[in-house]
Homo-oligomer: A and B are copies of this chain.
Amino acid sequence: MKMLINVAESVVSDALRGMAACHPELTVDVENRVIVRRDAPVADKVALVSGGGSGHEPLHGGFVGRGMLDAACPGEVFTSPVPDQMVRAAAAVDSGKGVLFVVKNYTGDVLNFDMAAELAEDEGIQVAKVLVNDDAAVTDSLYTAGRRGTGATLFVEKIAGAAAEEGMPLERVEAIARRVNELSRSFGVALSACSTPAKGGPTFDLPPGELELGVGIHGEPGRERRAMMTSREIADYAVHVVLEDLPPDNPVLVLVNGMGATPQLELYGFAAEVHRVLGERRIAVARTLVGNYVTSLDMAGASVTLCQVDEELLRLWDAPVRTAGLRWGC
């Protein structure tokens, strides 16, 4: 598998050098692997810190900036960052109002963020945590006890980030983050496996003519494999799973997310089918985002995330954001 890299060992550091070069509004500590908004700590503001294995970009580093994360800690590809990175990030962004850790539910991330929270509190930083576990496909998968954290991470980071930017206190930002996670569900499909630089080839085997329904963002197995389906059939299946789990009381934010290698032309066609199913179910769509946001390196496929929103959450979603990966209003 050909890759646009130097050597596998330097992939994360090289990308961080690129972030540093391209985004003067960020402070990138390449050696210690921490990405921080340059104006941090922002006075009187709760700070948001997230992180996880690399390979899901723009998540999380591409979501650092005004109105979203204050810092992100990238681990090696598909590998949790270490507590030292998280503590360093928390110390860099804490204004005294406390820090919220946004943690995707993978065993390594959970353990490391737990340890980091203790260490940061030892240093006098008030820490709260929110666990993102939105994947409706499976419980208890490879790397995970309970549901996996996937596309809803974007909704949690954006909406809680806006709440923090408005000056809300830590308990309130935490409560909003928790609410967004509880109101979100995702379902993903893989048409091809992803290849990690370390392995140099596909990390799992997906035969020609088959797709994986319910795949995780590291290629973890989903619910079942089937013979290749149409965009229409995939949308019916995915939205059905999500809605079974999420009783539709309110309008929804929709994320139609590319896994990395699926052309935007196909993503928009898929988005049309997702909207069709939601229309048939009489579910109102408040906003839709289409693109590669929570990726799995070069995997072909897509995921759907729905997040039910009331007026407050929608207002926070629409609030200005200025990051490398998501930007509007400023």
Point out residues on A near B: beta carbons under 8 Å.
2-7, 10-12, 14-23, 54-55, 57-58, 62, 77, 191-192, 208-209, 211, 228, 230-232, 234, 254, 256, 260-273, 275, 285, 288-290, 292, 295, 297-298, 300-302, 322, 324, 327-330
Contacts and interface: CB of A to CB of B under 8 A. Distances in A.
A26 to B, nearest CB: 12
Nearest to A58: B264
Q: Number of copies of this chain in the oligomer?
A: 2
A173 B12 CA distance: 42
A269 B15 contact: yes
Contacts of A273: 6, 14
Contacts of A298: 261-263, 300
A19 B275 CA distance: 11
A10 to B, nearest CB: 8
B302 A22 contact: no
Contacts of A55: 263, 265
Nearest to A17: B272
A264 B57 contact: yes
B191 A2 contact: yes
B263 A263 contact: no
A297 B5 contact: no
Given A4-B300, A260-B264, 5 more contacts: A4-B262, A14-B269, A57-B264, A322-B328, A328-B328
Contacts of A254: 22
Contacts of A330: 328-329
A301 to B, nearest CB: 7
Contact of A301 (B4, B6, B15): B4
27 contacts: A2-B191, A2-B192, A4-B231, A5-B231, A6-B230, A6-B231, A11-B266, A12-B265, A14-B269, A15-B269, A18-B269, A18-B271, A18-B275, A21-B271, A21-B288, A22-B268, A54-B265, A55-B263, A55-B265, A57-B264, A57-B268, A260-B263, A260-B264, A263-B295, A290-B324, A327-B327, A328-B328
A290 B18 contact: yes
A297 B232 CA distance: 20
A22 B275 contact: yes
A106 B152 CA distance: 42
Contact of A268 (B15, B265, B302): B15
B14 A297 contact: no
B300 A270 contact: no
Contacts of A10: 269
Given A18-B269, A268-B57, A269-B4, A263 B297 contact: yes
B301 A267 contact: no
A62 B267 CA distance: 13
A7 B228 CA distance: 12
A255 to B, nearest CB: 11
A270 to B, nearest CB: 5
A2 B211 contact: yes
Residue from A57, A230, A254, A264 whose CB has the most chain B CB atoms within 10 Å: A264
B295 A3 contact: no
Nearest to A12: B265
